[in-house]
Amino acid sequence: MAIKINNITVIDDGKNVNAGIVTATSFSGDGSSLTGIGIGTTSNINTTGIITASTLQATSALISPSGISSDRPIEVSPGSIRFNTEYNVPEVYDGTNWREVTLVGVVINPTNVRGVFGGGSPSNVLDYITIGSQSNATDFGDLTVSRRELAACSSSTRGVFGGGGPAPTNTIDYITIASESNATDFGDLTVARFQLAACSSSTRGVFGGGSATNTIDYITIASESNATDFGDLTGTTSQGAACSSSTRGVFGGVGPGTTNRIDYITIASGSLAADFGDLTVAREALAACSSSTRGVFGGGNNPSPLPGVTFNTIDYITITSQSDAIDFGDLTVGRSFLAACSSPTRGVFGGGGFPGISVIDYITIASQSNATDFGDLTVSRGDLAACSNGHGGL
């Protein structure tokens, strides 16, 4: 028996077939035999072995294996791909772990970026905003542990909150930024601490300083696990702030004490931090956010000599160029212990102070100017952290 397509014999009495380009509406299995062969819009090719082809063509879409994180297969070859339906991202197996695939060149729509504020004062509150639209925040869910003076970083899909107080903790928990829900346990920092700072690329989150240490540790954001030692900041620090490009992380207010020092790291390479330059004003308890090229630091205080000074200062750096910060403008309200997050174009500063305020204000990162009122958090608080799915590190 022979099977012909367009009067050309492609299968003849079990002989080997060289089909060239195979077009099908559905393909499943791994291919030592073919069953259920059909022609038309409802055709299926089901296989149970391995098919090797020079070209595979699909008329509408090529559907890869998919499932949630707990469904990830273990006995697969490096280079295997799947789609993670839990986080809505493609993944590739590197021989040890499943890694989120970064789609270089994909443009993030600034109007759809979501920022999430967590913890503070202490609190387990998570609330969120759409950074492109001025409005009040909306309830998101709860952290696994109520705490303040924590730090946050994020990929395009997942936000991660680490550390916190008032007693130093090593807790790391995570959220899926697009889906309002309570946070889930992620793992532990290498050192329990609070008053730390965090930044990230699309795949790696980095936590630096806190509790008067110079510790830097990192996580792979897509894979729940304990943090790993990265290196050290140039000095012990507490109450600093951090932001990033896709390759470089920058920490401002690096100690000890109230300071104007800025350090930087290469996020993909564990190493000691290096001096970057100085802030325009020495201060602590500030916040930072970034576009892909510019980092912006806002607020903070200098507690000495008493009663101290609280700043409305905003200054900025060009992340690729080691240099001192430059004046940007002023916050709508001078405050410290605030948090910041960003889209590719807009930076947002929320909360701050004692016992805490609900103020959210924003800037256009590319244009030096004073901040503008954005709206209010759901709960007034300071000592909080923030992240987004559209910051400068992605």
Q: DSSP of 302-335, one letter per residue?
A: E--STT-EE--EEEEEETTS----EEEEE-SS--
C-alpha pair distances (Å), 140 with each of 116, 356, 377: 8, 19, 11
In Å, the largest CA–CA distance within the chain is 95
Q: Tell me if the pTM is above 0.85.
A: no
Contact 248, 266 (CB under 8 A): yes
Q: Is the pLDDT of residue 40 over 90?
A: no
Please state which of the ranges 98-112, 165-179, 208-222, 378-392 shows the lowest mean pLDDT.
Answer: 98-112
Strand 45-47 to strand 27-29: parallel, antiparallel, or no bridges (unpaired)?
parallel
pLDDT mean over 324-329: 98
Give the model's confidence band at 38: pLDDT under 50 very low, under 70 low, under 90 confident, else very high: very low
Tokens of 190: 């290498």
pLDDT at 270: 86
Q: 204: which residues sit within 8 A by CB, 6+ positions away?
A: 218, 219, 220, 221, 267, 268
Give the model's confidence band at 308: pLDDT under 50 very low, under 70 low, under 90 confident, else very high: confident
C-alpha pair distances (Å), 310 with each of 40, 336, 376: 71, 6, 20
Contact 298, 349 (CB under 8 A): yes
- Kindly report the number of other CB atoms within 10 A of residue 354's CB atom: 12
Q: Which residue has the higher pLDDT, 302 or 108?
A: 302
Beta-ladder partners of 241: 252
Give the model's confidence band at 349: pLDDT under 50 very low, under 70 low, under 90 confident, else very high: very high
- Which element (helix H / strand E) includes 153? strand 151-154
Alpha carbon distance 58, 60 (integer Å): 6
The b-or-e profile of 374-393 (16+ CB within 10 A means b, else e) is bbbbbbbbbbbbbbbbbbbb
* Percent share of the chain, pLDDT over 90: 67
Q: Is the pLDDT of residue 182 over 60?
A: yes
Burial of 243 (0-12, 13-18, 19+ CB in 10 A): buried
Contact 157, 174 (CB under 8 A): no
Q: Which residue has the higher pLDDT, 173 or 95?
A: 173
Tokens of 146: 């109520």
Q: 215: which residues sit within 8 A by CB, 6+ positions away?
A: 190, 191, 193, 208, 209, 229, 232, 233
Q: Is the pLDDT of residue 231 over 80?
A: yes
Burial of 329 (0-12, 13-18, 19+ CB in 10 A): middle
Give the neighbor-by-neighbor strand order of the sheet with 248-254.
241-244, 248-254, 259-266, 274-283
Q: How far is CA 8 from the centre of its chain?
A: 53
- Break the chain into its structural domains and give their ranges: 1-62, 64-101, 110-388
pLDDT mean over 231-249: 95
Question: For all residues of the chain together, what is the average pLDDT?
Answer: 87
Strand 21-24 to strand 55-58: parallel, antiparallel, or no bridges (unpaired)?
parallel
| CATH number for region 110-388 | 2.120.10.80
- Kindly report the number of other CB atoms within 10 A of residue 58's CB atom: 13
